[in-house]
Amino acid sequence: MLKRFYPGKYTASAYEIPYGDFYKKGVRGVIFDVDNTLVPHGAPADDRARALFKELREMGMRTCLMSNNKEPRVASFAGEVGSGYLFKSGKPRRRGYERAMSQMGTTRETTLFVGDQIFTDIYGANRAGIRSVLVRPIHPREEIQIVLKRIPERLILWLYKREQKKKRNLRPKA
């Protein structure tokens, strides 16, 4: 039952994901959450974010920012990094993910989602049938409703890591 919340992959940062490897596997579009995935909550785009989006464009990837935040926040960030966007997207509902794929011209098979929250970002991507990468939140300062969600998220992440360790231990040794 809790597996519906498991990410496809878990990594420390959106800036450490091997996007080139995903491109080689057919991924042509990346949907990103913004706050605490790419920058601290409410922060403007920084050089690192601008460089990442430039690299993705040069690789041939399309991007879309998808946030439950209001348009001024998301549009401003999108303008700084040169990306499409959806605001008040209704994560974890599938419709927002489908709209993002439509905007990018991608399919479930050719789309990747990157976010920092299990119950909105990852659960929604899983419901939409797209690959997901969970990243650690960039900054510990968060709104109270998110802080409260982090408590059960820790349990799910612990179970996920335990399952991943078991899978690694079951692989035949070369």
Extract the residue ranges of the chain whose pLDDT is less than 50.
none
User: Looking at residue 173, what is its pLDDT?
Assistant: 65
**Angstrom distance (rounded) from CA 69 to CA 66:** 9
User: Looking at residue 169, what is its pLDDT?
Assistant: 77
- Write out the two tokens for 132: 């997901």
CATH number of 2-170: 3.40.50.1000
User: Looking at residue 119, what is its pLDDT?
Assistant: 92
Does residue 92 have a cis peptide bond before it, meaning omega lies within 30 degrees of 0? Answer: yes
